[in-house]
């Protein structure tokens, strides 16, 4: 699992390094991306919100701690924003000024 996340992170880093600032990377059809997150990482939506640009931002997490942040733009294109390991949901959210760890 960790190896897969490292490979995904390296791929994301390579794409971001090779694209001009502001360009979109790792984008595609939402259904395809969600299917891969579900089958490959056992991730499902645990939170969502609307960005200032009108896009829908979704946080996918798994019981094993992997996580992915996905944005679906108003045009319908979905793009990975970030992904990682060791996701932990806090039982009692803390104010922004207070450290959670």
**Tens of pLDDT, residues 23-34:** 546 899 999 999
**93 assigned to some structural domain:** no
Average pLDDT, the chain: 81
Burial class (CB in 10 A: 0-12, 13-18, 19+), 78: buried
Residue 41 is assigned to a structural domain of this protein: yes
76 part of a folded domain: yes
Whether residue 50 has pLDDT greater than 70:
yes
Range of the domain at 11: 2-17+25-84
Is the model's pLDDT at 6 over the cut of 50? no
Count of structural domains within the chain: 1
Phi, psi of 80 (to 5 degrees): -75, 130
DSSP state of 44: E
Lowest mean pLDDT among 1-5, 15-19, 58-62, 70-74: 15-19
3 state SS of 38? helix
Domain presence at residue 95: no
Domain for residue 89, yes or no? no
């Amino acid at each position: 699992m960790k190896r897969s996340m490292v490979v995904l992170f390296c791929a994301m880093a390579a794409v971001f390094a090779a694209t001009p600032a502001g360009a979109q990377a790792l984008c595609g059809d939402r259904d395809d991306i969600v299917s891969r997150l579900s089958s490959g990482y056992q991730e499902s939506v645990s939170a969502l919100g609307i960005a200032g640009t009108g896009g829908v931002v979704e946080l996918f997490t798994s019981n094993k701690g992997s996580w992915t942040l996905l944005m679906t733009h108003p045009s319908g294109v979905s793009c990975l924003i970030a992904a990682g390991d060791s996701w932990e949901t806090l039982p009692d959210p803390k104010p922004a000024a207070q450290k959670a760890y």
